[in-house]
Structure 1
Amino acid sequence: MFSGSIPALVTPFRDGSLDEPAFRRLVDWQIDNGSKALVPCGTTGEASTLSNAEHHRVIEICVEQAAGRVPIIAGCGSNDTRNALLHMNFSRKAGAAAALCVAPYYNRPGQAGLIAHFSFLAENSDLPIVLYNVPGRTVTDIEPETVCALAKRYPDRIVGIKDASGDLSRVTDHRMGIGKDFCQLSGDDELALPANAAGSAGCISVTANVAPALCAEFQQACADNDLVRARELNDLLCPLHYAMFEDASPAPVKYALSRVHDWVLPGVRLPLVECSDHAKKAVDEALKHAGLV
């Protein structure tokens, strides 16, 4: 259903508010440079600091600006199941192709709670769901057995996963437990190469915000089984992958974008602050290594 390079878009701010012109330009630039789908209101989009009205407006703008050129996987996750459903219902009406639904954070539900949460969403919305497992942020881990049980119970609703667990064996676990049609996407840029080799179809990427053409070419090389070129591109991109997390994300990627485009400002919302001088140095060196500045 989804494949290739898929940026988890930043949400540009200006004077503390959504910078709509910059966001529209970012959407166009991403599509023009080969991104195969777009994710608004994910972790990198600072969804946790957006009001519901802002959250929905970002999704609405993304769908409108993309204008059918690529599918939109709208960030709909919440630690409140009914609020996640609210986001999904809005995204469905706005024209999104799927919902990216993170494991509920802070509440720390067990596997039975995760099954109940995602089952409720699947049974009350017809928008396809891409699970998002990032236990480093949520603490809660969507275990492979739970993923398989949900995908088998709702094959037309729970269609894929963005896996940022760091456990590459799960790509095989999911494929063997569900089947090859279940869409697996890496959630870690630096692990995208081995994840693709194991059976992932692409990556929901932080780095693609600032290097969309290189990330798209890398993913295409993987799809073409051109491992020589894929490794070359991976070597160009790896310092940038690491630099994106030299400070609290998405501060480094917003700084990187501001270095590449003067129409994106580096500001983030509290409790995040702009990245440190150490992180800026790492980003600057990585951008130079990749030939982006």
Structure 2
Amino acid sequence: MKQLVGTGVALVTPFHQDGSIDFAGLEKLVDYSINGGVEYLVILGTTAEAATLTKDEKKQVIETIKKANANRVPMVLGIGGNNTAEVIAEYKETDLSDYIAILTVSPYYNKPTQEGIYQHYKAIAESTEQNIILYNVPGRTGSNINPETTIRLANEFKNIVAIKEASPNFLQSTDIIRTNTREDFNIISGDDEYALPMTLAGGSGVISVIGQGIPEIFTDMIRKALNKDVDAAYTQHYKAVEITRAIFEEGNPCGIKAVLDNKGVCSPYTRLPLVPASEKLTEKINQLLAEI
């Protein structure tokens, strides 16, 4: 899956102050990200506040991004949940022909065992021929996909082509890279701050949040890392590290929307239960962007 090498961005869903979707802002965001050099777009992930979108709104978001993209870069679609049968049903009900892969999060809230996680992904993989990206984000799901489970799934199902790894334990990522035996299996960073060291360790790049805010810097960093141009990559990393930390201080996507508002791409509004970045954080983000 060479199309998953580099920088993918988990697009936000821009809103107007009244909570309606800002489709013009979404089109502008797609252009801004692609013109900034991103390799692929990730649609309806956590950063998109997908949990607050209706089915009709999701369809509208998908169509807007598809039209704005105009086949310029590959697209990944987020379809996941903690009801295995419902996730499989959504796969079957959705036209997946426009996407190179589906990003599907490990079941949240239920806190399944490793065998439960394996069986969840096994059932999904056997229900479709579409490429699947595992998504491990323990901070949101309440459980972890252990490296052994990741490798087991990768070895048994050819359409499981990658993992977006966002465990806070960086050594878990390197364990997957070290023990992976499939040359076509991509280990993608799901944590912006770890994206550089993980790529240098043998990863495939990142599915990023900050990458849509400062795409030129972040995509250049990842390309340099893939080419093992270590010093130059770290120069870019150090430019981006403070803003990367800042955007998560009050949760995601509040911070990145403040960045995009500063850039004139879209407004900073979110949907409840999330609220926009505080005035204090917004001032901090604006100052950091000015320094960059």
The whole-number CA distance in structure 1 between the counterparts of 2:191 and 2:126 is 29
* RMSD, aligned CA: 1.6
Unpaired stretches in structure 2, ≥5 consecutive residues: none
* Matched residue, 2:125: 122
**SS of residue paired to 1:7:** strand
Are the equivalent residues in 1 in contact too, given 2:200–2:226 (CA < 8 A)? no
Equivalent residue letter for 1:222: A
Q: Deviations over 1:149-181 (max 9, x none)?
A: 1111112x1000110002222333223233332
Structure 2 residue 139 is matched with structure 1 residue 132: no
**2:32 and 2:212 in contact (8 A); partners too:** no
Number of residue-to-residue matches in the alignment:
288
Distance apart, 1:40 and its partner CA: 1.1
Number of the residue aligned with 1:276: 278
- Give the TM-score, by structure 2 length: 0.93
2:47 touches 2:253 (CA, 8 Å); kept in 1?
yes
* Number of the residue aligned with 2:260: 257
Q: Does 2:194 align with 1:191?
A: yes
**Which whole-Å CA distance do the structure 2 matches of 1:141 and 1:28 have between them?**
35
Q: Which residue does 2:163 correspond to in 1?
A: 161
Identity of aligned residues (%): 37
Q: CA deviation at 1:192?
A: 1.0
**Structure 2: how far apart are the matches of 1:249 and 1:172?**
25
Asked if 1:57 is matched to 2:86, the reply is no
Q: Deviations over 1:33-87 (max 9, x none)?
A: 1100011111111111112222233233323322222111111111222332344
Q: Which has the higher contact order (CA 8 A, sep 6+)?
A: 2
For residues 9-50 of structure 1, give each alpha carbon's deviation from its aligned partner in whole angstroms, at most 9, with x where no partner exists: 101112312221211121122111110001111111111111
Q: Which amino acid aligns with 2:232?
A: R
The alignment partner of 2:281 has SS state of: helix
**Structure 2 equivalent of residue 77 of structure 1:** 80
Stretch of structure 1 that moved more, 218-227 or 131-140? 218-227
Q: Match for 1:143 among 125, 143, 146?
A: 146
Aligned to 1:247: 250
Does structure 1 residue 88 correspond to structure 2 residue 100? no
CA contact (8 A) 1:56 1:87 kept: no
Distance 1:56 1:153, change over 3 A: farther
SS at match of 1:5: strand
Give, in angstroms, the shift of residue 113 of structure 1. 1.3
The offset of 1:91, in angstroms, is 4.9
Structure 2 CA distance for aligned equivalents of residues 90 and 21 of structure 1: 27
Q: Tell me, in whole angstroms, the C-alpha distance in 2 between the residues paired with 1:109 and 1:30.
A: 36
Residue in 2 that maps onto 1:226? 229
Please tell me the residue identity of whatever aligns with 1:56: K
CA separation in 1, counterparts of 2:117 and 2:151?
A: 12
CA distance in 2: counterparts of 1:108 and 1:254, whole angstroms? 30
The match for 2:47 is 44
Asked whether the equivalents of residues 24 and 61 of structure 1 are also in contact (C-alpha less than 8 Å), the reply is yes
Rounded to whole Å, the distance in 2 between the matches of 1:153 and 1:59 is 31
